[in-house]
Amino acid sequence: MSELLKVDNINVYYGSIHAIRNVSFHVDEGEIVTLIGANGAGKSTTLNCIAGLLKSDTGDIVFNGESLSKIPGFKIVNKGLSLVPEGRRIFLQMTVEENLQMGAFSNPENEQAGLERVFDLFPRLKERRSQVAGTLSGGEQQMLAMGRALMSKPKLMMLDEPSMGLSPILVDQIFEIIKNLNDTGTTILLVEQNAAAALDIADRAYVMETSRIVMEGKASELKESNQIQKAYLGQ
Amino acid sequence: MTVFIRTLISGLNLGSIYALIALGYSMVYGIARMLNFAHGDIIMVGAYSGIVAVMSIGLPPIVGILLGVIVCALLGITIERLAYKPLRQAPSLSILITAIGVSYLLQNLALIIFGPEQKAYPMFSGVKSFQILGAKIDGITILTLAVTACIMIGLNLFINKTKIGKAMRAVSEDKGAAELMGISTDRTITVTFAIGSALAAIASAFYGATYVYILPTTGSMPGIKAFTAAVFGGIGSIPGAMLGGIVLGLIEQFAKQYISTLWSNAIVFGVLIIVLLVKPTGLMGKTIQEKV
């Protein structure tokens, strides 16, 4: 499989805090890769840096053979990479449909087909298309955030804590949808605190601890490792 | 009754002018999270542009106004690029002080170019008056109300229906999320300054027609009032700026007519204080609870 995303030695600082140190990893086309680790380990910072919300002082991020480090943040979605951010960050005062239209901002030709696909995946959103997003339930908001990210027809979709704050049934649903998206050709980079669920659907995993990647491997193997079981799976 | 109608109409007239200016304050605050205290002086620039176009170049008034709109839109974009854009990451106090600096710069440039003496605003001298329920109403007042109503409807359609308008709403809610969608914050801010300044230029024509004389400091008082109107309505909210402007104009004219001319400003600001005590987000400002 060919390499879709290569993160090479990035460092991000918030003022004097060194948020991620020398982070390097890669995601191959068609994979589900998960980044697991405790709160504050630097997982979200890593995703935000790839998506262009933060800039690294060093190294490079190469997506689909093209370096992203010189590209302004708002143009990155154009390259086929979209992020479902932590806390969803949907536009609460806009309607469901408007949120989805914003998702297709960089790719307006895809708006109609994108809407159909998203409404197909999330029938609830279709029912509520003209409702203001702030009135949706937490689960529906997560679906909207994912649907919005799909509107740009990404090659790689990054999800930051999609299960946060959701009921167990909804978590299962969300993970099922992620698996589905992957089966239909979208590469996935998933950040999760719910390590067990993430390792279940992932092909490979990286473990972050105190702003570094400390371990990597096949998801199935990591799941069996004593160290991981103790630290992240509570067994 | 006649006095009441006349006061009502003149309140709406003044309120329309405040509303047009307040929109600029509110939109810029909503998108760029800054208070552009140079906004009032854009009115002054619009008015002088009209005077130059009509008196010196001899263009027809309507062309003079359009020219003012273009000059102000370009000036708004230029000010944003040169003065505010480099401060995008700076503390808001630095930006505020810069805005006040720009305001003085514009006033003093006008002082150098046009001198300290007042100039008569020439437009609309030939517009007829109307009788409404026994009250004599200037044609220009009717024109002000009609144009303002059209602008408000147009602006609402623009914000709610067009792609750029929706992008502006997205940026005002969450810049980072908007960038993730591929929306350029910088471009959106540029558009916002252009629209806000263009609206101030239109307000300047109505202001000139109502108050006739223009000075380099002409923009400060309507600027402050319109800022008050924007806060009153809920800063960042477009319908709020419209409502705030109209309500403020009405309060001011009714206070002048029925209470005291001297006290009218005190009453206006008194009402503002009361509204903010009761509803700190302003009349239309909203706080939506985020679900976790």
- Residues whose CB falls within 8 Å of the CB of residue A192, separated by 6 or more in sequence, listed in order: A34, A35, A36, A161, A162, A163, A198
- What pLDDT sits at residue B287? 58
> Is residue B205 less than 8 Å (CB to CB) from chain A?
no
A110 inside domain: yes
- Residues whose CB falls within 8 Å of the CB of residue A69, separated by 6 or more in sequence, listed in order: A55, A56, A59, A60, A61
HSE (side-chain half, CA atoms, 13 Å) at A177: 25
Residue B227 has pLDDT above 90, yes or no: yes
Segment B56-90, tens digit of pLDDT? 888 888 899 999 999 999 999 999 999 999 998 89
The mean pLDDT value for B163-169 works out to 95
B231 inside domain: no
Supply φ then ψ for residue A22, to 5 degrees: 45, 50
Segment A72-109, tens digit of pLDDT? 999 999 999 999 999 999 999 999 999 999 999 998 99
Residue B44 has pLDDT above 70, yes or no: yes
A142 inside domain: yes
B110 inside domain: yes
- Residue contact A134–B289, C-beta within 8 A: yes
A40 inside domain: no
> Is residue B173 less than 8 Å (CB to CB) from chain A?
yes
Residue B147 has pLDDT above 70, yes or no: yes
B92 inside domain: yes
Percentage of chain B beyond pLDDT 90 is 71
CB B172 within 8 A of CB B31: yes
Give the model's confidence band at B125: pLDDT under 50 very low, under 70 low, under 90 confident, else very high: low
- What pLDDT sits at residue A235? 61
In which residue are the tokens 């959103």 written? A125
The mean pLDDT value for B228-232 works out to 92
Residue A119 has pLDDT above 90, yes or no: yes
> Is residue B176 less than 8 Å (CB to CB) from chain A?
yes
Give the model's confidence band at A232: pLDDT under 50 very low, under 70 low, under 90 confident, else very high: confident
Distance CA A171, CA A179 (A): 12
Minimal Cα–Cα distance from B92 to chain A, Å?
A: 18
What's the domain range around A112?
95-153
| Least CB–CB distance from A53: residue in B173, B176, B289 | B176
- Residue contact B181–A102, C-beta within 8 A: yes
A20 inside domain: no
> Is residue B170 less than 8 Å (CB to CB) from chain A?
yes
Give the other-Cβ count within 10 Å of A71's Cβ: 15
Residues of A in contact with B183 (CB under 8 A): 74, 102, 105
- What pLDDT sits at residue A48? 95
Residues of A in contact with B184 (CB under 8 A): 72, 74
Segment A189-227, tens digit of pLDDT? 999 988 889 999 999 999 999 999 999 999 999 888 887
- What pLDDT sits at residue B124? 66
- Residue contact B170–A90, C-beta within 8 A: no
Residues of B in contact with A130 (CB under 8 A): none
A159 inside domain: no
Q: Beta strands of B102-170 (E only): which ranges? A: 119-120, 129-132, 135-138
The mean pLDDT value for B32-48 works out to 94
What's the number of domains chain A is made of?
1
What's the number of domains chain B is made of?
1
A126 inside domain: yes
- Residue contact B173–A152, C-beta within 8 A: no
Distance CA B197, CA B70 (A): 9
Residue B190 has pLDDT above 90, yes or no: yes
A46 inside domain: no
A195 inside domain: no
Percentage of chain A beyond pLDDT 70 is 99
Q: In Å, what is the CA distance from A161 to each residue of A47, A143, B29, B90, B243?
A: 11, 13, 32, 31, 41
- What pLDDT sits at residue A33? 97
Segment A122-166, tens digit of pLDDT? 999 999 999 999 999 999 999 999 999 999 999 999 999 999 889
What's the domain range around B80?
13-220
Residue B275 has pLDDT above 70, yes or no: yes
Residue B134 has pLDDT above 80, yes or no: no
Residue B289 has pLDDT above 60, yes or no: no
Residue B292 has pLDDT above 60, yes or no: no
Segment B248-260, tens digit of pLDDT? 999 999 999 999 8
B185 inside domain: yes
Give the other-Cβ count within 10 Å of B171's Cβ: 27
What integer best gives the mean pLDDT of chain B? 91
Distance CA B181, CA A141 (A): 16
B49 inside domain: yes
